Structure 1
């Protein structure tokens, strides 16, 4: 994680669970792909405050959640406790160093986490690491944004998140001849009338490039969806959800 990305997540960490609350459709999607959770061993990359990881553990899976941001990770450690649940600091580029070969039934990478890597070379490194720590036939499940749509329009702003306590505004800044997009955010904290602004770079990873990288890493049965309901991918929708097998 670049310094700017770490600063960004620290700056919103207090309000992270309000900005990005638990999405039950994520849990349903994982269950649909894995079947019964008991006896499953799952790695959750970019676990943040641990909302999904905790739900998976409640369902019977053995779960390890990793994140690079200490502020988010500490919230997970303090607030999400379960005998089948472990949180630790971890880098998605160092999976083979931190975990055993063929250790997991599933590796999850949700929340647009993957595109915090700023090159396809690094994405491939992560995917190869994920394949190495998956059991044969184990599943890699990914959720990012649909950069085919975002770049073609272009989509210069994401929907505003407005709650009782905060307003979260997100803009994209595009540069010619670059696969990186400037991601600019303004977090308005209503009670104290304060705005926290940040900007970081994200990789505009398009679907066919991702498919090619997954194939190069050795994954099979690659499926792209428009959302966690598994509706057909393609067109003007923001999510890109992926499932594939090692």
Structure 2
């Protein structure tokens, strides 16, 4: 997970360029299915970003805790903290997921790490230490759901971009749209140079197109064979791989995402 604020979008743009209500509705059935057998309804959201998944679980009656190493994201996430009518609650803490067992709510009944956060782990040791840290913060039998892009498909196909996100400008910025572009250059080492770009589009105005932000960093494309071993070493079993946030088979050369569901041994 990134700890350099220059490597991420501003917290405001991150929330604006993702259609969060639609995304949560789309993913909710799979999230409910993946956590259906949790030993208890407390959840850790690792790399929680602006907090929408954490809040979703709070609204569903869970005691949900989101952690992230980005202070910019945490400033935005705390706006979603507090109790929910369902009896659940959400709170957020600036913390590395490796330290999950030190949270007051640990051991948790389930954990998430979504939004491609694993791609920011730079070394195999980073992956292993995060998995060990999450495992240490989970109750026996607790599910852990991770989602990242399928870099095997991206690199083998030479894919250069993800679909463009287009969202309306907020009212305080007037008429127009925000465009979110994600340009990629696959590298020989199996990683990907990643360029997230946000533009403001105001047809008929001057300028019609304006650059809001341009970033550049490396996505580390962890593959399933390594992850299987790393999960097992960290104390997880019953690993299942899916091709997206649904009960779809993971196909190495076809799936857009690599989604892993595993359980803490107990």
Structure label with greater radius of gyration: 2
Aligned counterpart, 1:48: 49
**Aligned counterparts of 1:93 and 1:62: Cα–Cα separation in 2:** 20
Judged with a 3 Å threshold, the aligned counterparts in structure 2 of structure 1 residues 126 and 225 are, in CA distance, closer, same or farther, namely same
1:84-233 superposed matches below 5 A: 84-96=89-101, 98-99=102-103, 103-164=107-168, 165-176=177-188, 178-190=189-201, 193-195=209-211, 196-233=213-250
Structure 1 window deviating more from structure 2 (208-217 vs 198-207): it is 208-217
Q: CA deviation at 1:61?
A: 0.4
Judged with a 3 Å threshold, the aligned counterparts in structure 2 of structure 1 residues 18 and 33 are, in CA distance, closer, same or farther, namely same
**Aligned counterparts of 1:93 and 1:21: Cα–Cα separation in 2:** 29
**Aligned counterparts of 1:107 and 1:37: Cα–Cα separation in 2:** 10
Aligned counterpart, 2:7: 8
Retained in 2: the 8 A contact 1:67–1:73? yes
**Aligned counterparts of 2:105 and 2:215: Cα–Cα separation in 1:** 38
Retained in 2: the 8 A contact 1:105–1:134? yes
Q: CA deviation at 1:144?
A: 0.5
Q: CA deviation at 1:2?
A: 4.7
Determine if the alignment matches structure 1 residue 33 to structure 2 residue 34: yes
Q: CA deviation at 1:40?
A: 0.5
Judged with a 3 Å threshold, the aligned counterparts in structure 2 of structure 1 residues 136 and 123 are, in CA distance, closer, same or farther, namely same
**Aligned counterparts of 2:39 and 2:129: Cα–Cα separation in 1:** 30
Find the residue that maps to 1:170 and give its secondary structure: strand
Retained in 2: the 8 A contact 1:155–1:172? yes
Deviation per CA, 1:44-70: give whole Å up to 9, x if none.
Answer: 011111111111101110000111222
Q: Which runs of 5+ in 1 are unaligned?
A: none
**Aligned counterparts of 2:37 and 2:60: Cα–Cα separation in 1:** 8
Q: Which runs of 5+ in 2 are unaligned?
A: 169-176
Aligned residues: 242
Q: CA deviation at 1:15?
A: 2.1
Judged with a 3 Å threshold, the aligned counterparts in structure 2 of structure 1 residues 93 and 133 are, in CA distance, closer, same or farther, namely closer
RMSD between aligned alpha carbons?
Answer: 2.3
- 4+ runs deviating over 6 angstroms: none
Retained in 1: the 8 A contact 2:47–2:68? yes
